[in-house]
Amino acid sequence: MRAEGVRFERVVKRFGQVVAVNRLTLHIQPGEFMVLVGPSGCGKTTALRLLAGLEEVTEGDIYIGERRVNDVSPRDRDIAMVFQNYALYPHMRVYDNIAFGLRLRELKGWLWQLTHWGEARAIRQRIDERVRQVAQMLEIESLLHRLPKELSGGQRQRVALARAIVRQPKVFLMDEPLSNLDAKLRDQTRAELKKLQERLGVTTVYVTHDQKEAMTLGTRIAVMKDGVLQQVGTPQEVYHQPANVFVATFIGTPPMNILSVPVVREGGQSAVQLGETRLPLPNNKPTSLPPTVLIGIRPQDIHAGNDAPTDALLSPPLTATVDVIEPQGDRNDVHLVVNGHRLIAQISARVPVQEGQALPIRLNLEHLHLFDPQTEQAIR
């Protein structure tokens, strides 16, 4: 299939007073799996609908490949969409559901078919081959004769995907297509979708509010808030180098701990003061810092007992009080209080902990993040 890139250039969408998408510039490479992620109301669905042509752009430009599509109708954009509420035609068998769009596009009216019966037959044959090929790819060949009501949720979802794939679009648009499935089926379908997208190599723009889904599916992910793009990068980049406090706390579970602490100078080095304990900052952090900073530490980078990796650069021990323990199987999410600050640590279940206990913890200083308290942007 032909892959084309997509570009949003300073795109604005207003609904009356509401700015749903605010100066969005985002370049999506041909064949890329781009996930738009953010909390409810952040503008991700609107961005997708603008790309689909279902909403009109207020300002800015959208390109599919080299073609500016602002004024191109949805049906001429060469895209295929799969939405959360994919509607299959209830009276049509699976085969016809998949073939319908192709027939509509490639076969003209009945009069033309009568007068061009040879050509029409060849087209029908080609459509039949495509439908069967895609059905095989999605393992729904045995369901082709069934009606939608005779399918499970997961099977219906595959039919909806098949219907999109069979059209061989330049771009797939997907808006929470897995959210109607139960957790197990969702995990399974997600993995299949990722494999399928890699195999087909079609540029895909996928919308979800679920950061875990974004991390597992995306080649890159674009994090949005209040209509504004916060950061775009690979899942690794967004997780390890969040651009600001919002991204840091939105991506990753449990969320990153953020604490406001004073900065102190120690010899030529900067440190932050957490209660009685001074945390020296590693050399890769800037030496000139505001008097107070926000530090960010992921629950996975707080260690107790001997659960720290041997090569980690650990802080001096801090004494924490265990407030609540949430068992997660091989690890516990432990809510702690350290000098009046509340923290969540993810600690190996091998380390014995009890509510109310004083627990010495160490932070992995290499994974400490710094943010400006005014702008909340990362300090690098």
**Smallest distance, Å, CB 45 to ligand ATP?**
3
**Smallest distance, Å, CB 339 to ligand ATP?**
37
Q: Contact with ligand ATP (CB under 6 A): which of 18, 54, 122, 324?
A: 18
**Residue placing its CB nearer to ligand ATP in the complex, 22 or 133:** 22
Q: Contact with ligand ATP (CB under 6 A): which of 1, 2, 10, 15?
A: 15
Q: Which stretch binds ligand ATP (CB under 6 A): 40-48, 232-240, 272-280, 312-320?
A: 40-48
DSSP structure string for 255-306 = PPEEEEEEEEEETTEEEEEETTEEEEPPTTS-S---SEEEEEE-GGGEEETT
45 contacts ligand ATP (rule: CB under 6 A)? yes
Looking from the CA of 350 toward its CB, the CA atoms found within 13 Å total 6
20 contacts ligand ATP (rule: CB under 6 A)? yes
Q: Which stretch binds ligand ATP (CB under 6 A): 33-41, 114-122, 292-300, 369-377?
A: 33-41
Between CA 115 and CA 375 the distance in angstroms is 69
233 contacts ligand ATP (rule: CB under 6 A)? no
211 contacts ligand ATP (rule: CB under 6 A)? no
315 contacts ligand ATP (rule: CB under 6 A)? no
154 contacts ligand ATP (rule: CB under 6 A)? no
- 3-state SS string for 142-182: HHCCCCHHHCCHHHHHHHHHHHHHCCCCCEEEEECCCCCCC
Q: Taking the mean position of all CA atoms in its chain, how far away is CA 267?
A: 43
**Residue placing its CB nearer to ligand ATP in the complex, 1 or 18:** 18
Considering only CA atoms, which of 361, 365, 366 is closest in space to residue 346? 361
Q: Which stretch binds ligand ATP (CB under 6 A): 15-23, 228-236, 276-284, 298-306?
A: 15-23
Between CA 178 and CA 35 the distance in angstroms is 14
Other beta carbons within 10 angstroms of residue 168's beta carbon come to 15
Sequence-separated (6 or more) residues with CB below 8 Å from residue 83: 174, 175, 176, 177
**Smallest distance, Å, CB 232 to ligand ATP?**
16
What is each CA distance from 313 to 236, 308, 363, in whole angstroms?
20, 10, 8
89 contacts ligand ATP (rule: CB under 6 A)? no
**Residue placing its CB nearer to ligand ATP in the complex, 84 or 348:** 84
**Residue placing its CB nearer to ligand ATP in the complex, 82 or 308:** 82
Sequence-separated (6 or more) residues with CB below 8 Å from residue 147: 90, 91, 92, 93, 94
**Residue placing its CB nearer to ligand ATP in the complex, 45 or 231:** 45
44 contacts ligand ATP (rule: CB under 6 A)? yes
Q: Contact with ligand ATP (CB under 6 A): which of 156, 158, 190, 209?
A: 209
**Residue placing its CB nearer to ligand ATP in the complex, 51 or 378:** 51
40 contacts ligand ATP (rule: CB under 6 A)? yes
Neighbour order of strands in the sheet with 331-338: 302-304, 358-363, 318-327, 331-338, 341-348
Q: Which two tokens stand for residue 16?
A: 């009356």
By beta-carbon distance, which residue lies closest to ligand ATP? 45
Q: According to CB under 6 A, which residues from 46 to 65 bind ligand ATP?
A: 46
Considering only CA atoms, which of 123, 124, 154, 150 is closest in space to residue 138? 154
**Smallest distance, Å, CB 82 to ligand ATP?**
15
User: Which phi and psi angles does 107 have, rounded to 5°?
Assistant: -105, 130
Between CA 108 and CA 21 the distance in angstroms is 39
Q: Which stretch binds ligand ATP (CB under 6 A): 41-49, 119-127, 256-264, 322-330?
A: 41-49
Other beta carbons within 10 angstroms of residue 105's beta carbon come to 11
177 contacts ligand ATP (rule: CB under 6 A)? no
Q: Which stretch binds ligand ATP (CB under 6 A): 1-9, 34-42, 111-119, 325-333?
A: 34-42
Q: Which two tokens stand for residue 283?
A: 């050399």
| Contact footprint for ligand ATP (CB under 6 A) | 15, 18, 20, 38, 40-46, 209
